[in-house]
Structure 1
């Protein structure tokens, strides 16, 4: 970390002499990108927009869990739009460093917000009623708007902190190969992002799960159906987030290690970073599906689609018959 001169760094696929490895790496990256763009991105957008519409229609009856899931839904939709920047892979988006920094800021803002929201949901809904945190959990349920403002504030500060470590304050209008986690960023970028967005949150989640297990061991009565449904969607979101981000953060630290050793890495390293990025984007799709299938209002709205379509068809037929008479 003594030197912040990253002018030496380049993508391995651009400079490697192992032609066969480069071709194989680029082929895999392109195929995975095509699968994501054909399947995950459309599913994520459709389910995310459907969930968002459901929450907006029932905005007068939104509870605490609905507010947190609404925030998560909006973040998932934004993350899906940002993921469209990979459409040119295995090549990278050519843009100015300033534009790339803006994209990186928005990406990290969504990244941190998703992590902090699901940690807050674990705290409030899985530990609700616990003697350790009853007071704070009750406040979180009664004032979800204040909690969301605090979460967005933390996400904004974290995003500004990591973007400040991109190291591109000079020559902002020069062109670069833009990746949302910019390759030429200082190694502190990956380390701080791991610490704020995964490491610290993981410690909190483990503590919450331990307390949850203790609560379940002490509980003598079975939970109510609504409570069990809320617990299920919160657990599904937490596990999906952890599964998708574990691989991403391991590869992120690997890239920081290569930078500290002043090593460009191999085409395989570049392949793994691209795959980790695609897996991270797939998190939005998985979370949107979990909300759609496990959250009661969204699940009921999905079940009512055939009935609504039938009513629309009947109204159309009735209108045609009246006009003909």
Structure 2
């Protein structure tokens, strides 16, 4: 019985070759569609019409056309401006880093340093600051210009020490709303700028004497400390208010966030402005001060000198301590701003350096309080009189105790 044959074409050939192996030396022919075999001209005409109807685009046009090919980054001016102020991508490296060993090491170092700070620096800072403040309040009747400025610095140092208690949860960060974090940052910046501005005025008012207009203005500021401190406080308030506007959280104040004194999600301009106003400007003025001081010492080399004991060494000591403690922190702030501009979250090492620099910044309050206690004469005399007062108080209680015992025995 003959094998069943499929449909034939007009030339009498089958529409599709059998799927058997091709003859030796020939390449097997694939099956063609029935429409192409029966209507070859019509099929070619429709295929050409379909190809001609498709829009022909070059490779460059396909690259620029949205929706074709891989998504391309847009670098328009509006997009760049929005991305520079969009800090939603910022994260702490310890929360997203895959280097687990580095994260554990960094957190261990921060935890140990925090324990030392809480055990030593905080009690010493509060005790020295409160003792100095009590001494200034008791001697306010005979208080001079230097005592008024040191009183303002003492209050600032006590407030900074209290604000540093927000780091007690480190290496974890305090969880609060954007509004609460903005308030914390504002208060810390007021203390930061106030302490810096007060020290600058003290340098020019109490360590320099001359006939230059700037020196005469500084001398008048020392003679009217209340008005001068009010102006300094206003400048610190305005500087902190300007930084609060650069936090970038005004539209979502009730949103929860991880907070520290200088929020991580602030705009890069925040760090740049803070370093410029709180450290860069102060550094320039301190350099000017030391140049004027050297010139003054050169002019007075042959002239009779004042008593060395009357020189307020505490002013110079607090200025040098502030510079040494704030230098690492401002370097860390600039490093953070650079990473933000490069859209990089950094490494656990960067986060570790920032945390350690923050603890050093808080330690400035304790060191300055101790410097005021030991170098400022009224505070030092008050400290030396404490044992005498305790002895006198204990002796005052002895007669009353013996009298009560005699009455009980009678």
What TM-score, normalized to structure 2?
0.77
User: Size of the alignment, in residue pairs?
Assistant: 323
- Bigger relative contact order, structure 1 or 2, given CA contacts below 8 A and separation 6+? 1
- For residue 41 of structure 1, the aligned residue among 88, 113, 122 is 122
Quote how far apart the aligned CAs of 1:136 are. 1.0
Aligned positions of 1:212-291 closer than 5 A: 212-219=293-300, 220-228=303-311, 230=312, 232-291=313-372
Quote how far apart the aligned CAs of 1:57 are. 0.5
Of 274-283 and 315-324, more deviation after overlay is shown by 315-324
Q: Describe the superposition over 1:155-191 as per-residue Cα deviations: whole angstroms up to 9, x where unpaired.
A: 0000001111000001211110011100000000000
Contact 2:206 2:219 (8 Å CA) reproduced:
no
- For residue 205 of structure 2, the aligned residue among 114, 117, 124 is 124
- For residue 235 of structure 2, the aligned residue among 150, 154, 157 is 154
Quote how far apart the aligned CAs of 1:130 are. 4.8
Q: Describe the superposition over 1:192-248 as per-residue Cα deviations: whole angstroms up to 9, x where unpaired.
A: 0000100011101110111011111111222224532x1x11100000000000111
Q: Go from structure 1 to structure 2 and tell me whether the alpha carbon gap of 1:92 and 1:200 turns closer, same or farther (over 3 Å shift).
A: same
**Pair 1:297 & 2:378 matched:** yes
**Pair 1:163 & 2:244 matched:** yes
- Higher percent of residues as helix: 1
Distance of 1:130 and 1:213 partners within structure 2: 16
Distance of 1:167 and 1:62 partners within structure 2: 44
Distance of 2:239 and 2:171 partners within structure 1: 29
Of 233-242 and 169-178, more deviation after overlay is shown by 169-178
Please report the RMSD computed on the Cα atoms of aligned residues, expressed in angstroms. 1.1
- For residue 191 of structure 2, the aligned residue among 110, 116, 123 is 110
Q: Go from structure 1 to structure 2 and tell me whether the alpha carbon gap of 1:178 and 1:320 turns closer, same or farther (over 3 Å shift).
A: same
Contact 1:122 1:235 (8 Å CA) reproduced:
yes
What TM-score, normalized to structure 1?
0.97
Alignment-derived partner of residue 141 in structure 1: 222
Q: Which runs of 5+ in 1 are unaligned?
A: none
Alignment-derived partner of residue 31 in structure 2: none
Contact 1:45 1:77 (8 Å CA) reproduced:
yes
Alignment-derived partner of residue 60 in structure 2: none
Q: Which runs of 5+ in 2 are unaligned?
A: 1-79
Contact 1:248 1:277 (8 Å CA) reproduced:
yes
- For residue 13 of structure 1, the aligned residue among 84, 94, 98 is 94
Distance of 2:131 and 2:367 partners within structure 1: 14
Q: Which has the larger radius of gyration?
A: 2
Matched position secondary structure for 1:176: strand
Contact 1:22 1:267 (8 Å CA) reproduced:
yes
Matched position secondary structure for 2:168: helix
Distance of 1:88 and 1:310 partners within structure 2: 42
- For residue 60 of structure 1, the aligned residue among 134, 137, 141 is 141
